[in-house]
Amino acid sequence: MGGGNQIKSVAVIGAGAAGAITAAALKAEEVFDVIRVFERRESAGGTWIYDAAVQPSLLGRPGATPSELDPPLEIPKSLPAVLPPNKQERFSQTPIYDVLTTNVPEIAMSFSDCRFAYGPFAPHHIPRQYIENYFALHKTDTFLELNTTVEDVSKVEHASNNGSNQWKLTLRKYDALQNADLWWEETFDAVVLANGHYSVPTIPNVKGLNEYIEKFPGRVVHSKTYRSAKSYKSQRVLVIGNSASGTDVSRELVSTAQLPVYQSRRSKAWWEGDSPSKGIEWRPVVSEYLPSGRILFEDGTYLDDIDTVIYCTGYKPSYPFWDAKKNGQPLWDDKKGKLVKSYWHTFFQDFPNLGIVGLPRVLTFRSFEYQAIALARIFANRNPFPLPPLAEQQAWEDEREKERAREHRKFHDITWENGETHEWLQGFFKWSGLGTLTGQGRTPPPLTKEMVWAIDNLKKYKPEGEEDASDISDFSEIYEWIVLAHRKRDVLGFI
């Protein structure tokens, strides 16, 4: 592409893994005058920051959407401003519990130029340290603006009046010395959203649950506030959900809670056998909560005298800073569970100077690298191939929406087994191309045989009844972990 680079300043929202690799990719292009990374927490690390002290009462209304639970703050009429500290819950604490480890082999949880300290499934402090170190490794820690929340992102006309637009960010930073919030504005040519999607907990709207919560305060919690099984010693516990957190929580509770630990599940996970692990009793989906405290299940059975119900039912993305009125459209469709007018889970059809990194359920850190490099290259106006015309981008979105509806799958889930992940990464490889001859710009990493082997064969959870296959060929001698003989469907389904 030609014509020179029109984007000179870029704001990155979030300093987790997605923000770290985005900052590194932008810096590598060596064409941007200003790169800022805004992080509302006290350090880089994103969702991997561990919060030991959490509020168990942090519980959203069942069935409520993120836009209802996490509304935007009122912006001061005059900026800059110094105001009393915000008291509204912003869901900034993380969901990290004591025994949490990564779910994906570390080769896919690492960026291509630096591997994890160890693995393949590392304890939570390893990715946290890794992300902080990655900013230092690439000398992008100077881009960080910590303890700073982006409260509004609005489209404004470019000062040059050339028909393009910029983004005005309204920012809030807590000043401990003044015990006050400092508010101000900054304007950028482009913005990358890298704020993750593990903040606002999701709880389904079950009959009688609202009344149950009101009558028995503190009895229902979400896994976001779970830290240790020690808190539930001798309690009768019902865990809702059997994905990664539901499995971890249920298995750990066996060591302290009153047995059995009850686990409600909608369907069978690929790692589950025909019977539950020792100390766990499976139950179907909850159909109703009664004022007496009784919990009814879809098969007609019930439980009485439950001390704690732990919902391990995941999270939904929240973008309270997006000014839908000024920007002409919402960013996220709560009903459909998808970005509005996006392309390739990374670009936006109506906003060529806006991107997002880290949303799809796919290879996590390593896939973020592909997204970040492609966005940096396009913002630098060096991409060897342009994105397809808007009509083609819209057709991609429409077709995918229909296909996912037929398959009863989420729009932003990308599967591994059917080659979809390979196709998705290949797109970024095409748009990014190589860096310059003199070294500017990163190049998307190869999808190596070792990585493919690790994803196919290394499993954090061993399926019941499946034998280890430590003598399997290729890379098995590298890893001291569970190597399985048979691949299972949707191996990244627990992300």
The CATH number that applies at residue 92 is: 3.50.50.60
Nearest alpha-carbon partner for 10 in 28, 24, 26: 26
Same domain flag for 243 and 330? no
DSSP readout, 285-353? -EEEE-TTS-EEETTS-EE-S--EEEE---EE---TTB-HHHHTS-SEETTTTEESSEETTTEETT-TT
The 10s digit of each residue's pLDDT in 165-209 is 999 999 999 999 999 999 999 999 999 999 988 889 999 999 999
What's residue 492's pLDDT?
A: 52
Same domain flag for 135 and 15? yes
Same domain flag for 98 and 139? yes
In a domain, 441, yes or no: no
Regions of the chain with pLDDT less than 70 = 1-4, 55-58, 161, 163, 462-495
Exposed/middle/buried for 76, CB within 10 Å: 0-12, 13-18, 19+? Answer: middle
Same domain flag for 84 and 162? yes
In a domain, 253, yes or no: yes
In a domain, 291, yes or no: yes
What's residue 482's pLDDT?
A: 47
Domain that holds residue 254: 203-313
The CA distance from 413 to 63, in Å, is: 22
- The secondary structure element, H or E, covering residue 27 is helix 17-29
Q: Which residues pair with 370 in a beta bridge?
A: none
User: Domain tally for the chain?
Assistant: 3
Domain end residue (candidates: 291, 313, 335): 313
What's residue 475's pLDDT?
A: 55
In a domain, 487, yes or no: yes
The CA distance from 61 to 283, in Å, is: 24
* C-alpha torsion angle, residues 91, 220, 286, 492 (rounded to 10): 40
The 10 Å Cβ neighbour count of residue 490 is 16
The CA distance from 5 to 366, in Å, is: 27
In a domain, 460, yes or no: yes
Same domain flag for 172 and 216? no
Residue 200 phi/psi, 5-degree rounding, is -90, 110
What's residue 469's pLDDT?
A: 47
Q: Which residues pair with 338 in a beta bridge?
A: 333
Instruction: State the pTM of this model.
Output: 0.92
Same domain flag for 334 and 186? yes
Domain end residue (candidates: 313, 331, 358): 313
What's residue 386's pLDDT?
A: 96
Domain end residue (candidates: 261, 279, 313): 313
Kindly calculate the radius of gyration of the chain based on its CA atoms and give it in whole angstroms. Answer: 23
Which residues lie below 8 Å from residue 431, measured CB to CB, with a gap of 6+? 374, 377, 378, 383, 384, 385, 387
Exposed/middle/buried for 419, CB within 10 Å: 0-12, 13-18, 19+? Answer: exposed
In a domain, 442, yes or no: no
Same domain flag for 309 and 428? no
Same domain flag for 142 and 228? no
What's residue 466's pLDDT?
A: 54
In a domain, 341, yes or no: yes
Same domain flag for 379 and 363? yes
Side-chain-side CA neighbours of residue 412 (13 Å): 25
Same domain flag for 184 and 268? no
Task: Check whether the bond before 120 is cis (ω within 30° of 0).
Answer: yes
Same domain flag for 284 and 349? no
Same domain flag for 294 and 351? no
In a domain, 331, yes or no: yes
What's residue 413's pLDDT?
A: 92
